[in-house]
Amino acid sequence: MLYLTLLAETFAVTGPIFILVLLGLVLKRLGFIDDQFVTMSSRLVFSLCLPVLLFTTITGVDLANTPAFALLSFSAVGAGLTFVISWLAAITLVQPKVDRGVFVQASFRSNLGVVGLALCANAYGTQGLVLASLLMAVMTVIYNILSVVVLSYYNVARAISWRGVMVDIATNPLIVAIVLALLVGSLRLPIPVVLERTGAYLGSLALPLALLGTGASMNLKALRHSSSVTLLCIALKTMILPALITWLAWLLGYRDLSLGVLFLLFMSPTATASFIMVKSMGGNDALAANLIMTTTLVSLLTASLGLFLLRVLALA
């Protein structure tokens, strides 16, 4: 009975996310939503709803009880380590050479802002969402910088503006919201009730709308581009790298909330932003789309299995 209970609890975490992603895909196929809806809703989510969710969540808790600061350096090192391993795998196993940058980015860069936050919120409630948000701020900066490095290395056709990259990071609505929330929280500034309730309404739209958009943006035709590169990326992104990071975190003594959040963030599928970056730099966008979709589908299954095992072992 214990195992069945843990299994039910695990699917209560990942099941709603899978259903919303699948629902987005079905609604798009049935014509209830279209590409314009996906574009506009994504803009609304990442420019307003998700930043508001992060701001209201972080300002509403006592950060002194959140084990975030001890994890910041580990998450940064973990992001760098997954990048190095992915690049070594690409050098050894990925052909043609021009696709290596696309592969590396897809293998190490997680979808933190949508799937990662949703998993952590479902698994650990407000505390999980707060901790994931703080780690996301650090990891997003590292992801952006390292992605530009590897894509530029394998694509000499288009130069990248490092000034533009830094501006994008500094003006990223999610990072800005997190920084402002930390500032408001540290100064203990009161938030008017009317703004607090308005923020709660807007924030409640963020994850469901983002997950519907994730499903609607999937293109099943991308599966036609599946290859050994796809299988290798799936193995790294949804199995090998999350298992490695979780094992290292366990060795360092992380347990419960900290270990679970780390696992779920690194287990999250390839970030949709990776497609935009690849396309803007003239890379293999068909491969990028394929890797995003396949890792999204597989990661929800491996996340379920991994979280179940962690809970059976009473580690998270």
What are the boundaries of each domain within the chain? 2-218+225-310
User: Is the separation of the CB atoms in 116 and 110 below 8 Å?
Assistant: yes
Q: Evaluate if residue 113 carries a pLDDT over 90.
A: yes
**CATH number 1.20.1530.20 is the correct assignment for the domain at 2-218+225-310:** yes
User: Burial letters for 47-78: b for 16+ Cβ neighbours within 10 Å, e otherwise?
Assistant: ebbbbbbbbbbbbebebeebebeebeebbeeb
Neighbours of 219 (CB within 10 A): 14
Q: Residues of the chain with pLDDT > 90: what percent?
A: 77
pLDDT band at 44 (very low <50, low <70, confident <90, very high): very high
Question: Which ranges constitute the DSSP H helices of the chain?
Answer: 2-30, 35-44, 50-59, 69-93, 100-108, 117-153, 162-170, 173-187, 193-216, 228-235, 241-251, 256-267, 273-280, 285-312
Given a cut of 90, whether residue 161 has pLDDT beyond it is no
Judge contact between 295 and 232, C-beta under 8 A. no
Two structure tokens written together for 231: 């299988």
pLDDT band at 188 (very low <50, low <70, confident <90, very high): confident
At residue 308, the 3 state secondary structure works out as helix
Q: How far apart are CA 1 and CA 7, in angstroms?
A: 10
Percent of the chain with pLDDT over 70: 97
